[in-house]
Amino acid sequence: MNSISVSIPDLPTDEPTPLAIADDLLSLLKTSTTEPRSDEQLEALSIAVAADLPVLLWGEPGIGKTAVLTQLAASLELPLTTVIASVHEPSDFSGLPIVGDDPEQRGVPMAPPRWAVELVKAGRGLLFLDELSTATPAVQAALLRVVLERRVGALRLPPDVRIVAAANPRASAADGWDLTPPLANRFVHLHWAHDQEVVVRGLGGVWPRAELPSLDRERLPEAVSFARRAICGFLTVRPKLIHQLPGAETQRGRAWPSPRSWEAAMTLLAFATAARVSRDVLALLIRGVVGDGAGIELLAHLDRMELPDPESLLADPTAAHLPVRGDLRRAALEAMVSAVQSRPTRQRWEAAWVVLAQALETSAADLLVTPATALAELRHEDWEVPDTIEQLSEVVSITQRASQSVRTMGASR
C-alpha cells in the first residue's frame, strides 16, 4: 500500500501573520505611563490602604474602579488577586469542610480556596473583592471573617495583604442587593466618580500614579495624640453618635457611626495628620467611615480645635500662630476681638492690633475689615493710637470703599 505524503509549505519567518499584527496593535493601545498628579479620590484610597482598613469603592459601571485597583497594585508592587464575590458560594470564603482521619478527635477542618492559599504563599498582596453589591446575603455573611479577621477557612491572611472592594449602586447593579449592616460597617466607603481631565489624559496614555502617603515620622506621636483627643472630645459632647444605626434599610448598607467605625475614624485621622493631607481628602475619609451627618459634625469639631485660644494671642501677640484657612483665620481674629470686648484694657487692645498687623502680612485685606473696625470702636479717648493702626487703616479704608463701590454698581443694575 502506497503512502501518501502531504507537504505543508513553511510560512515565511520574516512576515508576521495578520493576527500577530493585530496583537501588536493591541499591545500599543494598552501601553501607558503614569505621572504624579493631585487626585483627592486616589489620595483618600491610598491613605485608607496604608492604614490597613478595608475600602469599598462605590461607583457606576464602567467608571474605572477595576482599572484604578489594577494600577494601584502595580504602583505599590503588590500582586493583585481579584475575586468576583457574586459568582462564589459562601463556602468559598468560610472554607470547604474536609473529613480527616479522625474527625471525632481532630474535628473537620475547613479547607481554604486556592486564591487564599496563593495569597498566603506570596506573603503580601492586594485582595480585590469585586461586584460586592451583587453578592447574596449568605455570601456577604461569609465575607465578614475575611474582611474583619482576615481569615479564609483555616488560613489567616498575612498582615501585608490589603483588602479593597468595589460595588455598584443597587439601581445599576445586576440583581443587586443592599449590603448587610454588619458588612457595611467594616468598610471605608469612598464614592468613585470620573474626572474628565483624568480620563482624557489617561486615554492619551498618561494616568495618575497611586502612591502611599508620605508620613512624617517625627509627627507620629503628635498625630496619634491629636486623633485620640479629637475623637474622644467629640464623642464626649455628642454621645448619641457613638452608635446610631440608620432607620432606612438603604442607609444601613453604607457608612454609619458605631464604636468600630469611630475607631477607624481615629486611625484615619492619625494617618491624615501625619501625612498632612488636605481638608477635602480628610472629609472623604471621615464621612466614608461614620457617614455624612456624623462626619460633618466631626469636621466642624476639628475646625474648632484648630482655633487658637484668644487669651494666648493677647498674652503673646508677636508669637501668634493663626490658622491658614481664611474662614478659620477670620473666626480666630473675631474671637480675639470679642475677648477684648469682654475685658477691655489698653494693654489687651494694643496686643490685638499687633496680631492684626501680623495677619495682614499673610491674609487678604477683606478678612481684617470686620475685626479691625470692631477693635477700633473699643478705643478709649485717653488711649494713644498705636503705630500698628496706621498699617491697617489704609487697607481697611480701601477695602471698605471697594465694597461700597460693588454695592453701588449692583444697585444701579
Residue 403 scores a pLDDT above 60: no
Q: Is the same domain home to 140 and 47?
A: yes
Residue 83 contacts by C-beta under 8 Å, 6 or more apart in sequence? 115, 127, 128, 129, 130
Q: Is the same domain home to 243 and 202?
A: no
- Pair 49, 78: CB distance under 8 Å: no
Q: Is the same domain home to 47 and 188?
A: yes
Q: Which of the four pLDDT bands, split at 50, 70 and 90, describes residue 409? A: very low
Q: Among 123-127, 238-242, 391-395, whose mean pLDDT is lowest?
A: 391-395
Residue whose C-alpha is closest to residue 298's, from 358, 249, 247, 229: 229
Q: Is the same domain home to 335 and 379?
A: yes
Q: What is the CATH number of the domain that holds 152?
A: 3.40.50.300
| Residue 1 domain-assigned (yes or no) | no
SS3 338: helix
C-alpha dihedral over 270, 271, 272, 273, to 10 degrees? 50
Better pLDDT: 241 or 90 = 241
| Residue 301 domain-assigned (yes or no) | yes
SS3 336: helix
Q: Is the same domain home to 386 and 276?
A: no
Q: Among 122-131, 151-160, 166-175, whose mean pLDDT is lowest?
A: 166-175
Q: Is the same domain home to 321 and 281?
A: no
Q: Is the same domain home to 330 and 386?
A: yes
What pLDDT score does 105 carry? 58
Residue whose C-alpha is closest to residue 155's, from 102, 101, 79, 96: 96
Q: Is the same domain home to 395 and 250?
A: no
Question: Cell for 252?
Answer: 444601613
Which of 208, 226, 241 is at the close of a domain? 208
Q: Is the same domain home to 85 and 149?
A: yes
Question: Cell for 262?
Answer: 469611630
Give the chain's mean pLDDT: 84
Q: Which of the four pLDDT bands, split at 50, 70 and 90, describes residue 408? A: very low
Q: Which of the four pLDDT bands, split at 50, 70 and 90, describes residue 186? A: very high
| Residue 62 domain-assigned (yes or no) | yes
- Pair 256, 246: CB distance under 8 Å: yes
Q: Is the same domain home to 197 and 333?
A: no
Average pLDDT over residues 130-143: 86
Instruction: Convert the pLDDT of each residue in 309-358 to its tens digit.
Output: 889 899 998 888 888 888 888 888 988 999 999 999 999 998 998 898 88
Better pLDDT: 43 or 75 = 43
| Residue 339 domain-assigned (yes or no) | yes
Q: Which of the four pLDDT bands, split at 50, 70 and 90, describes residue 175? A: low
Supply the Cα-derived Rg of the chain in whole angstroms: 30
SS3 354: helix
| Residue 134 domain-assigned (yes or no) | yes
Q: What does residue 206 show for φ and ψ, rounded to 5 degrees?
A: -130, 115
Q: Is the same domain home to 82 and 146?
A: yes
Q: Which of the four pLDDT bands, split at 50, 70 and 90, describes residue 397? A: low
Better pLDDT: 284 or 305 = 284
What pLDDT score does 128 carry? 93
SS3 408: helix
Better pLDDT: 293 or 250 = 293
Which of 306, 334, 365 is at the close of a domain? 306
What pLDDT score does 394 carry? 60
Residue 31 contacts by C-beta under 8 Å, 6 or more apart in sequence? 205
Which of 306, 332, 365 is at the close of a domain? 306
Residue 171 scores a pLDDT above 80: no
Better pLDDT: 182 or 367 = 182
Question: Cell for 407?
Answer: 454695592
What pLDDT score does 410 carry? 47
- Domain extent, residue 381, equals 310-412
Better pLDDT: 105 or 371 = 371
| Residue 72 domain-assigned (yes or no) | yes
Residues 74, 92: Cα–Cα separation, whole Å = 26
pTM of full prediction above 0.85:
no
What pLDDT score does 61 carry? 82
Give the chain's length: 413
In this structure, the strands spanning 55-58 and 160-167 are parallel
Q: Which of the four pLDDT bands, split at 50, 70 and 90, describes residue 399? A: very low
Q: Is the same domain home to 182 and 276?
A: no
- Please give the tally of structural domains in the chain: 3
What pLDDT score does 74 carry? 83
| Count of C-beta atoms within a 10 Å radius of residue 61 | 11
Q: What is the sign of the dihedral through the CA atoms of 114, 87, 190 and 265?
A: negative
What pLDDT score does 368 carry? 82
What pLDDT score does 176 carry? 67
| Residue 126 domain-assigned (yes or no) | yes
Instruction: Convert the pLDDT of each residue in 13-48 to its tens digit.
Output: 567 888 989 999 999 988 888 888 888 999 999 999
What pLDDT score does 281 carry? 94
Residues 371, 374: Cα–Cα separation, whole Å = 5
What pLDDT score does 269 carry? 96
| Residue 335 domain-assigned (yes or no) | yes
